Structure 1
Amino acid sequence: MSRRDPQAFADFVAARSGALHRAAFLMVGDAQLAQDLVQEALTKIYVAWPRLHDATNHAKVEAYARKAITTTAIGWFRKKSWGERTAEVLPEGSQAGHSESVDERAWLWQALQELPVRQRAAIVLRFYEDLTEAQTAEAMGCAVGTVKSQVSAGLAKLRARLGDDVLPTDLIEVTR
């Protein structure tokens, strides 16, 4: 397709922007940065739209979107050398009005934000986006072996920081 189809692009944005924002948020840990990241990725997608959009292959656009978000996030952290923005104090057990699962998620979220950006991206793509190793490698622009090592190293850091009893069962089983 050699021409831009603004309506098809608008439909894609309307259908997928929520999911793209959630993935971006998990990668950068800040809602405003995630919005900026999605906007940057959507700009790249729009430029590439004539060669990406195919009425029979929506997976191609989705894969390109994930790759644009992932590589842009990694590039931002490399170029800007942004430090991790973590909370000053971790919660000590359950707080009034919060369940244990909320506390566990807060601890997991804190630990996830302390991972290097490539390890965080690999874990988000593999376990949150539920991509295969090959799909994750494509999105990150690296080899499958690199995905395996990034996930392994990231999960090892999470295990060391949180322990096996805090990590979700599906993450623990993958690392054993």
Structure 2
Amino acid sequence: MADSPGDLRRMSADAAIASLYAAHWSGLVRLAWLLVRDQGVAEDIVADALIALHRRWDHLADRDLALAYLRRSVVNAARSVLRHRTVERTYVAQHGRAITEATAPSAEHEALDEVGNAGMLAALDRLPRRQREVLVLRYYLDLSEAQIAHALEIAPGSVKAHASRGLTALRAQLGADPDRTTREDR
């Protein structure tokens, strides 16, 4: 589909976006959800990223990097949502009103809670933003260090450092044996 080199170069904006949507919508929504924990907001983030890509399609230097551009857009939009939430919470805390969530937990959130991943999600939430982003991109989307570096606009060495620090912090939070390593950690 849209993953093979050369396919996107020859497509019109409409055809390319339709192809990217069909192949990557659910994965991009899950990426956004893992960062913002709200299904509706995650879907809005991905829709906005696809619309922005459509608008810029004729001006892209390398159309084969469209998926990487979408991932970067999703991560950046999730950051904006999280910054906005922080501002809202600060405002509410200063003015003495309680925050109420407008949406119920997503089905994905409830399913993860059901199978016992609530501790992992809570531990991920406590990580610094960059470590959380690197770990989600690495272990959820199975991106390479180079792809993560491109999506987050950081050096590949920084990806390694954030991943290492994030995994160490997760192990400490979850009480894992620090001497036990998995194949993925090496």
TM-score between both structures, scaled by the size of structure 2: 0.68
| Aligned residue among 154, 157, 166 for 1:145 | 157
Cα drift, residue 135 of structure 1: 0.9
Pairing 1:156–2:174 present: no
Distance in 2 between residues matched to 1:3 and 1:11, nearest whole Å: 9
1:126, 1:136 within 8 Å by CA — same for their partners in 2?
yes
1:105-135 CA distance string (max 9 Å, x none): 2211221122232221110111111111111
- Find the counterpart in structure 2 of residue 23 from structure 1: 31
- Find the counterpart in structure 2 of residue 109 from structure 1: 121
Pairing 1:73–2:78 present: yes
1:74, 1:118 within 8 Å by CA — same for their partners in 2?
no
TM-score between both structures, scaled by the size of structure 1: 0.71
Cα drift, residue 8 of structure 1: 2.9
| Aligned residue among 131, 135, 146 for 1:119 | 131
- Find the counterpart in structure 2 of residue 64 from structure 1: 69
Pairing 1:44–2:52 present: yes
- Find the counterpart in structure 1 of residue 40 from structure 2: 32
Is there any run of 5+ residues in structure 2 with no aligned partner, and where?
1-8, 90-98, 100-110
2:49, 2:73 within 8 Å by CA — same for their partners in 1?
yes
Structure 1 residues 3 and 132, CA, compared in 2 at 3 Å: closer, same or farther? closer
Cα drift, residue 5 of structure 1: 2.9
- Find the counterpart in structure 1 of residue 22 from structure 2: 14
Judge which range, 39-48 or 18-27, deviates more. Answer: 39-48
Cα drift, residue 25 of structure 1: 1.0
Aligned residues: 153
2:13, 2:54 within 8 Å by CA — same for their partners in 1?
no
Judge which range, 132-141 or 148-157, deviates more. Answer: 148-157
Cα drift, residue 169 of structure 1: 6.6
1:133, 1:148 within 8 Å by CA — same for their partners in 2?
yes
Cα drift, residue 72 of structure 1: 2.1
- Find the counterpart in structure 2 of residue 90 from structure 1: none
Structure 1 residues 136 and 152, CA, compared in 2 at 3 Å: closer, same or farther? same
Q: SS at 1:148's partner residue?
A: helix
